[in-house]
Amino acid sequence: MSQPALTNLYDLTRADLRTWLIQRDLNPTHAARLWSYLYLDLVDTFDAMPDLPARVRDRLAAETFIGTLPIAAATDSSDGFTRKYLLSLPDAERIETVLMRFTGRVTACISSQVGCAMGCVFCATGQMGYTRHLSAGEIVAQATHVARALRSNSAPSATVPRERLRNIVLMGMGEPLHNYDAVMRAIDILRDDGGLALAAERITLSTVGVVPGILRLAREKRPLHLAVSLHAATQPERAALVPAARKWPLDELIAACRTYSETTGRRIFYEWTLIDGKNDTPDHARAVGHLLRGLPAQVNLIPLNPTTGYDGAPTRTEAARRFQKILADEFALPSTVRQRRGIDIAAGCGQLAATR
């Protein structure tokens, strides 16, 4: 008979842990201490849990594991703010996770899939295709990895000692709403106030525009920030950049965004990768302004980062400013231009890819 698979503790919520203990006639109150070992002390072995009775530890060691992900490579950007980790998964697949530090703000950019099925033409992850979803535990492990790196002070710009991980952006490899259940379970674990205790206002999920996922987020009133990747304000232009737009057309996407904002009372961030001559003219800016009229919105402009599979140039600073000015002056629409970070190590938006 084959052995039952070991349970990854990072897959379990605190309530699951209590159930796991009860099912084995162990005292469920141990869940609290176990949780703090996992997410406050960030330990990665059962030997480092001396406060738990030996029979609890033995049972854990026999049936579970702590799913930390080994570092296959770590690269620092010359910008001094960005470090990229290549992490190994148990099946030898690999993912990338990015640690960014700007203006006193520490952010982990986390992946939700190996590759991506959505095929956006300018995105390195899309260019590599889809391999598989990440489990909740593999998503959580990226956050504990970054939290551990910050604690050990091995992160870039290590001037502030023992910093805590405060911000998470689900903007790494993959489409998070294509892997909805695992992503939401991971977020629940990351938010648990006895552990990493990430505040809902500090978690941002970026989607290519998976309409059923956006409506489900609205129904479930998930506390997080939502970013929607728009890139174009007409259906044909958008479908040329974002093939997923053929499945979820622009009018349906905007209707879903409206429902989301009305149901949750939340503003949405609309992301717009600025490509020279393609979607950065004053007419494009006006088209976005009209499209988002009446919606609680902020536009995040991301000058195109280079990838091997796409032949386009980033919008120049002047044109980006002009775009912003039109949004502000003619539509009272706030916008930001994303600072370019980690481009030299391919850690910028849309540059993450990993091979075995």
Residues annotated as catalytic are 96, 349
Q: Does 60 bind ligand SF4 (CB under 6 A)?
A: no
Q: Does 307 bind ligand SAH (CB under 6 A)?
A: yes
Q: Does 304 bind ligand SAH (CB under 6 A)?
A: yes
Minimum separation from the CB atom of position 40 to ligand SAH (A): 29
Applying CB under 6 A, the span of 53-61, 74-82, 83-91, 304-312 interacting with ligand SAH comes to 304-312
**Nearest CB to ligand SAH, comparing residues 261 and 273:** 273
Exposure string over 242-262, b if 16+ CB within 10 A, otherwise e: bbbbeebebebbbebbeebbe
Applying CB under 6 A, the span of 25-33, 180-188, 201-209, 283-291 interacting with ligand SAH comes to 201-209
Q: Would strands 64-65 and 7-8 be described as parallel, antiparallel, or unpaired?
A: parallel
CA angle 278, 282, 285 (to 5 degrees): 80
Structure tokens at 253: 């996407």
Per the DSSP assignment, residues forming a β-bridge with 100 are: 82, 107
Minimum separation from the CB atom of position 210 to ligand SAH (A): 9
Q: Does 327 bind ligand SAH (CB under 6 A)?
A: no
Q: Does 349 bind ligand SAH (CB under 6 A)?
A: yes
- Say if residues 326 and 69 touch (Cβ distance below 8 Å): no
Applying CB under 6 A, the span of 12-20, 69-77, 156-164, 204-212 interacting with ligand SAH comes to 204-212
Instruction: Report d(CA 102, CA 86) in Å as an integer.
Output: 21
Count of residues that bind ligand SF4 according to CB under 6 A: 11
Site residues for ligand SF4, 182-211, by CB under 6 A, read: 208
Instruction: Report d(CA 117, CA 54) in Å as an integer.
Output: 45
Q: How many CB atoms lie within 10 A of CB 309?
A: 12
Site residues for ligand SF4, 323-352, by CB under 6 A, read: 350
